[in-house]
Amino acid sequence: MSKRNHYIAVTALVIVTSFILYFILRMIYTLPIAASAEARPIDQMFTGHFIAIAFLFSLIMVFMLYSAVVFRRRPGDEEDGPHIHSNTTLEIMWTIIPTFVVVGFGVWGTITLNGLVSAKDNEMVVKVTGQQWSWSFEYPEQEGLTSPKLVLPVDRTIVLQMESKDVLHSFWVPEFRVKQDLVPGRTTTLRITPTKLGDYKLRCAEICGLSHANMMADVQVVTTAGFNSWVEERLQAPVYADMTPEERGAIWYSAPPGGQYAACSGCHSIDGSVMAGPTWQGIYGHEVQLTDGTAVTADDEYIRNSILNPNAQIVAGFQPNIMPQNFGDTFAAIEAEIQASEGIQIDMIADIIAYMQTLQE
């Protein structure tokens, strides 16, 4: 085969393997859907890197394997190989071209990063707080409302001003592509312009202790109208921090937040009438007859125990296994939500006990 034909064969092989490798890389490293304006330049850089990786790998491997196979020593060939000293043109080329490619990627990266961090028109600030192991969000432009989930209007640049209460965390929603650390003692910034409506998950991307893997929050991208009505709804939502324990207890009794939890009022009256469970009227501090013949005083400990372990002390005249036995978990979930959105620690059972004390005959 002539020298020219070897070159043609190698060129063709390099082109074919580059394509195959590029598609394999694309298949292995599938990216989640791109849901922000920032995702586009980043995905373009991914494509650029995949092309460069596929081409360079093919170039080196094809040249090497082609030479090893085609120019291998034949049986009976005892000659020395030709002595090649150097090739100045080739050496200059393989120094200059990779230098330009690497510097080129660096410049491309710098320009992209600059575009991502620069201020945009009509920005909206959201404050993000990370702590072991939860996220909370504050909207200073929406009367400072707070939320345990991040709700964002579509097609508007959001400036996240992020702070950590304890250790390093990292804000990462893969669909938005961009990522930024939260550093204790300083405020870091991240800009996101959501472009696709939908539900996403915020994950902490910096190992931050035992529950790092569970440090997640819901992210919702909604229409501008949807965002405004969410703000309206959040602003009208009760602020538990401003209530007395008695007031909160009355809410837990009749309508716990979220709507998915059982209300005490389904089984316990407050006017003395008998329902599936004992009435709460006049119960606090009074003697209660149990099915086992003993009597106890309905004090804080008895009430707490009756909520957490409802089958432990059944009041005479009532049946066991009627009351759900998971109120401990239910209350913990509600308390965590209030902690995340209002930053206060609430003891729902203490609230209920306070409320019961107001229900004397």
Q: Can you give the binding site for ligand CUA, defined by CB under 6 A?
A: 130, 133, 169, 204, 206-208, 212, 215
Measured between alpha carbons, how far is 270 from 9 in angstroms, rounded to an integer?
90
Residue 212 or 304: which CB sits closer to ligand CUA? 212
Q: How far is the CB of 148 from ligand CUA (least distance, A)?
A: 15
Residue 133 or 318: which CB sits closer to ligand CUA? 133
Residue 178 or 208: which CB sits closer to ligand CUA? 208
Long-range CB pairs of 138-145 (<8 Å, 24+ gap) are: 139/231, 142/231, 142/234, 142/235, 143/235, 145/231, 145/234, 145/235
Residue 172 or 284: which CB sits closer to ligand CUA? 172
Residue 214 or 289: which CB sits closer to ligand CUA? 214
Q: How far is the CB of 169 from ligand CUA (least distance, A)?
A: 4
Q: How far is the CB of 207 from ligand CUA (least distance, A)?
A: 6
Residue 18 or 131: which CB sits closer to ligand CUA? 131
Report residue 99 as tokens: 């230098």
Q: How far is the CB of 239 from ligand CUA (least distance, A)?
A: 27
Measured between alpha carbons, how far is 196 from 40 in angstroms, rounded to an integer?
13
Residue 106 or 184: which CB sits closer to ligand CUA? 184
Q: How far is the CB of 344 from ligand CUA (least distance, A)?
A: 21
Q: How far is the CB of 182 from ligand CUA (least distance, A)?
A: 8
Q: How far is the CB of 63 from ligand CUA (least distance, A)?
A: 45
Question: Helix/strand/coil (H, E, C) string of the chain?
Answer: CCHHHHHHHHHHHHHHHHHHHHHHHHHHCCCCCCCECCHHHHHHHHHHHHHHHHHHHHHHHHHHHHHHHHCCCCCCCCCCCCCCCCCHHHHHHHHHHHHHHHHHHHHHHHHHHHHHHCCCCCCEEEEEEEECCEEEEEEHHHCCEEECCEEEECCCCEEEEEEECCCCEEEECHHHCCEEEECCCCCEEEEECECCCEEEEEEECCCCCCCHHHCEEEEEEECHHHHHHHHHHHHHCCCHHHCCHHHHHHHHHHCCCCCCCCCHHHCCCCCCCCCCCCCCCCCCCCEEEECCCCEEECCHHHHHHHHHCCCCCCECCCCCCCCCCCHHHHHHHHHHHHHHHHCCCCCHHHHHHHHHHCCCC
Residue 169 or 248: which CB sits closer to ligand CUA? 169
Q: How far is the CB of 136 from ligand CUA (least distance, A)?
A: 13
| R_g of the chain computed on alpha carbons | 33
Residue 49 or 212: which CB sits closer to ligand CUA? 212
Q: How far is the CB of 336 from ligand CUA (least distance, A)?
A: 16
